[in-house]
Every structure is written in structure tokens, then in C-alpha cells.
Structure 1
Amino acid sequence: MLLTAEADQLVRQARNAAARAATLARVQVVDEDGMERLRDIAGLFVAVWGTSPSGAPLPADLLRSISHAGCNVTAAYSEGGVLCGAAVAIVSPDNSSMYSLIAGVLPDVADVGVGFALKQHQRAWAVARGLDTMTWTFDPLVSRNARFNLTKLGAHAAEYVQDFYGLMDDELNANDESDRLVAVWPLTTPQTIACSDGLPMTVELPAFTADDVRSTGPDGNPVLVETDGSLWCRVPGDIVSLRGVNPDEATAWRACAREIFRAAFASGHTARGVTRAGWYRLAPGGAL
């Protein structure tokens, strides 16, 4: 357990980082519990993910229950007061971790830091309550999200779950299998603190030769490389678009990534970052 002075310092740092992230993204980030606002948040999730036969990703009545239980429903509003992003997380009893259920921003603000501001707000919320870890799942083929999670936030992943939700029939996932990586975000480590202060990890694919290539992907190009003491795994640049124009190739990428990640994790590797070009760094053992 942290000493009070150290805990207070971490809380201040987390809150300052969250406030700075919101300022840079030009949004106001707040916690919500009223039904009118929660209906808006449910509508935002529909706008981001689309709907399925089972309805909205998280309906307003469930958001109300989550908030009423003392868990986290966070919303981001533009300078004009327009809802542009939201995130939801729950806390388990007798657990020092919180679990992020969903987080999303509208496409037109995806590149201005709203998602980062939401996660930093959640981090500050958690640290203030004595929590030290946040976990969630994400699609390993969506390189943009992977880089955000593992490089910009400083989370890591060493667990691959096949078909986590079953077949996903919303508009974004387009009937793809729901394989997921489990992100683990330690909230108080030096690396996470540096990321929260706008100093993300530097992750660059080293130069490699043909001898370093271990396998090729569905597009015929190198997909698994072993160099510089790590494995490097490539995923598509835009799997969401690929699902629409070439679903067979998208399915092939799912099988390819599944095999690579499972083997890498079984041999003790951990996903520690993602390059801008979509290469995961799979570090051996406890290496950072």
C-alpha cells in the first residue's frame, strides 16, 4: 500500500495530467449520472459502433445502473457543449483494478486527443480511489487502437482470447470473429506517468533482413520478424475498410494474427508497443 504522501502526489499528478489532456483536446470531461445525459451517451455509442439485433452497445438504462453502483461513466463535450466522446468502466469488489467496458469518440474528433483525455480522466478517477490497474479488451487487428493503448497510454498485453464476444454483427465489426487482446494498464508506474504527461513510448521497427523474417502475411509481405531481441508482428493498416472490400482477406488476417499472438504469448512474450505502421513489439520475458 502506498504511503499517504506518495498516494496524494500520484492523485495530484493524475488529475493534473487529465486536466492538461482535456485542455489540449479542447474538451470538458466530466462524470455523468442523469438519464438525459446517459441517453445521449448511449446514442453516441450507437453512432460509433452502429446497432445490432440486440440493440445499442450500452443502453441508457444500463448506464444508469453502472453509474448508480458507484462506477464510472465519463463524457467529453466540445467547447460548444456537444457530446463528442464517452467511456464507461466498472469496479470489482475486493479488487484494486477497474475494468473498462467501452470507450469511443465521434469520427470527426478522432485525431484531436479526446480519447486520450477520456482515459486520463478515468485514470485520475481510479487513482483517487486507490486503484492501481485498469484492464480492457481490444481487437488486435485495429492497429490505430492498438497503438493508442500500448504506445500512447503505456498499457501492455500478454493474453489473447479467441472469439471473446462471439460473432459481432454490429456495423463496425461486420460479422467478424471477436478475438481480443487483454490490455493491462498499470496506473502508477513511471512509464504510465510519462505517457500521461505527453511523453509516449518510442516504438520503431528496427531494420531487418530476409533472414529475420519468420512468416509472411495474407498480402505476401513480412508479417513476423525476429530482430533486435524482440519479435515484431504486423497487422493491417485499416482492417475496418478491409472487412468491407475484401472480407476473405480480413478473415485470413484474423487467423494469421491469432496464430502469431498465441505462440508468442505461450513463449513468454508481451506486447509492449505498436509502431505507426502497425508493427507490434513482442518483448521477451519481463523486458520493457
Structure 2
Amino acid sequence: MTHAHDDSVQYRIVTEVRELGEVVELQKMVWGPDPVSSMQHMRAAILHGGAVIGAFCKEALVGFCYGFIGYDGKNPYVGSHMMAIHPAYRDRGIGMRLKLEQRLWAMHAGLSKIVWTFDPFESRNAYLNICKLGGTVSTYIPDFYGSDPAGYPTDRFLVEWMLSSDRVVRAINRQHQLNGDSTDYPQLLEFEYTDGKVTGLVDMAAKSKIGNSHGLRLPVPQAASKLRQTQPDLYKVWQRQFRELSTSAFAHGYQVVSCHQSKPEVQDYVLEMKV
């Protein structure tokens, strides 16, 4: 499975101890020393049906994604656990291409679904997962990894990527814009602005809108890490309200189907009732 996105980057399965060691080093560069999947862990997962896919530039590892086989009591699927890109190689489409390579690998193995988690406040990840890849979200997991070093909860969205669905095929072939107009849908959070910056959240009795509209909009900050540093109190309130509203919406049968930037500094998730 060796393809080239451009002449400089090649994609292939990684199995050797030495190259898996490079994967561990890239994890440490991106996330620091602690949250790593060890070489031994990945070797064991590969032995039992998992895969590490590497992106290489002139034989140097510049990105990877790692997934293993999951089982929900009915069907096997791929649990995609990690993806990282070397900071010098971001914004070159490598993340998208790694997911497409993972999709081909999974389909070749006879699997129809890949599932992974991400921080819903990471708006760029959201755009990739929902709009460019065609994933959907209907599960919110509070505090998935416990509190982070700064004491914030590690809440996560669970993405489901149905590999052969019309939605996914249209998204990856860019035949269908999944970030279409949804301005008619009610906004579940409104903001106070000062000098063009979000300075507070307005209580809009949002929960009363859930279940009374086919679609909803639920905003996150466009630059969450910056907001967390400069306005930690606002960040905490926003995260808490987002958790409550997401959980309620999913319980009422909504799923995330799109996201787009609606206002400065804000990106909306678009939720629609499942058909």
C-alpha cells in the first residue's frame, strides 16, 4: 500500500521494531513524554490485526496513524487510537491522506467502520473528521482520560466513520459540501462580544430548543488553546455548557453532521435529527 500524495511523501504499513521506535519518538515530540503507545504495545496490536501506517519523506517518518481491532458485541471494527504529524509537515494534507490509507487498509481487511475520539474544542480536527472525511458524532464521553495536567476535564466526541457509506464516499471525493448552510437552525449558545472578542456566554434557555427543531447549531471556540490561556474562566463555562448541551442533544436523537465558521472566533457544529 505505497502511494504518493506528492513526490516527497510516501505511505506504507510499519511493522519493524526500529521504525515503531521512530513512531514513539514522534509521539513524544507531539505530545510530550507521557501519553505514548510503546513499541511493545504496537507490536502486540499488529500481531492481533492492528496496523500502524506511516508517512515518510525521504525515508524519515513525518506522520503516522495507529489503529487496532475493536468489537462492540455484534461486529468488529477499527478503533483508531493515535494520529500525529511532525510539526514541520502540517497543512500538507498528510492527516487526510493517512486516514484514507487507514480506510483502504480496513476495507481490505473486511471491516466497515473506524471509530476514534477527539476533543470537540479542537476545531481543525473537527473540520477534518466531519466535513472532509464524512464522519458523524452521536456520543459524548466526559473526562475520557481523567483530568489533564492543568486540571481540565478531557471530554471527547466519538467519531463514527462508515467507510462505504454514500456520505463518506461523497465527502472524500469532494462531491458534497458537508459544511452547507444551516443558518436557519437555532443556536444553542449565544455570546457577548466586546471589541470583536467573545467575552461571555448568554443563557438562552437552550435546552428548550432541543427536540423542537430538525437541526441545531452548537458553537466551539475557533482557537481553544488561546482562549484557555487568556480567558480560562470563560473556557471552563463554555466547556461545561457544551458538555450539557451535547449530551442532551445526543440523548434526543441528534448527531453531528457538519461544522462551519459562523462568526469571528467561533465554529459551529451542525446537529441534525437522525432519520
Coarse TM-score class (shorter-chain normalised): 0.7 to 0.9
**Does 2:15 match 1:33?**
yes
Change (3 A) 1:216 1:39: same
Distance across 2 between alignment mates of 1:145 and 1:112: 14
Higher strand share: 2
Higher mean Cα deviation, 104-113 or 86-95?
A: 86-95
Measured in 1, the distance between the counterparts of 2:94 and 2:100 equals 10
Work out the CA distance in 1 between the residues paired with 2:106 and 2:189: 41
Deviation readout 1:71-97 (Å, 9 max, x if unpaired)? 11111112x222111111001367331
Q: Structure 1 residue 122 and structure 2 residue 102: aligned?
A: yes
Relative contact order: is structure 1 or structure 2 higher (C-alpha 8 Å, sep ≥ 6)?
1
* Partner-residue secondary structure (3-state), 1:86: strand
RMSD across aligned positions (CA): 2.7
> Given that residues 223 and 234 in structure 1 are in contact (C-alpha distance below 8 angstroms), is that contact kept between their aligned partners in structure 2?
no
Q: Which residue in the other structure is 2:92 paired with?
A: 112
Task: Note the 1:1-288 alignment, pairs <5 A.
Answer: 19=3, 22-24=4-6, 26-51=8-33, 55-78=34-57, 80-92=58-70, 95-169=75-149, 174-199=150-175, 201-207=177-183, 212-217=186-191, 219-220=199-200, 229-276=214-261, 278-286=267-275
**2:119/2:157 contact within 8 Å kept:** yes
CA change 1:153–1:139 in 2 (3 A) is: same
Distance 2:238 2:223 in 1: 11
Shifted more, 23-32 versus 35-44: the winner is 23-32
Unaligned runs of 5+ in 2: 192-197
Contact 1:100 1:136 in 2 (8 A): yes
Secondary structure, in 3 states, of the residue corresponding to 2:177?
coil
Structure 1 distance, partners of 2:176, 2:203, is 24
- How does the TM-score come out when normalised to structure 2? 0.84
Cα pair 2:188 2:218 within 8 Å, conserved: no
% identity of equivalent residues: 26
CA contact (8 A) 2:182 2:270 kept: no
Higher helix share: 1
Contact 2:201 2:238 in 1 (8 A): no
Q: Are the counterparts in 1 of residues 188 and 216 from structure 2 also a CA contact under 8 Å? A: no
Decide which moves more: 114-123 or 56-65. Answer: 56-65
Structure 2 CA distance for partners of 1:263 and 1:26, relative to 1, 3 Å: farther
Q: Report the CA distance shift for 1:193/1:163 in structure 2 as closer, same or farther (over 3 A).
A: same
Aligned residue for 1:248, secondary structure, equals: helix
Structure 2 counterpart of 1:46, which letter? K
Given residue 31 of structure 2, which amino acid in structure 1 is its aligned partner?
W
Distance verdict in 2 for CA 1:92–1:220, change over 3 Å? closer
Structure 1 unaligned spans of 5+: 1-14
Contact 1:42 1:56 survives alignment (8 Å):
no
Q: Distance in 1 between matches of 2:165 and 2:53?
A: 23
Deviation (angstroms), 1:223: 9.5
1:97-126, Cα deviation, whole Å (9 max, x unpaired): 111011111223221100011101110000
Aligned residues: 258
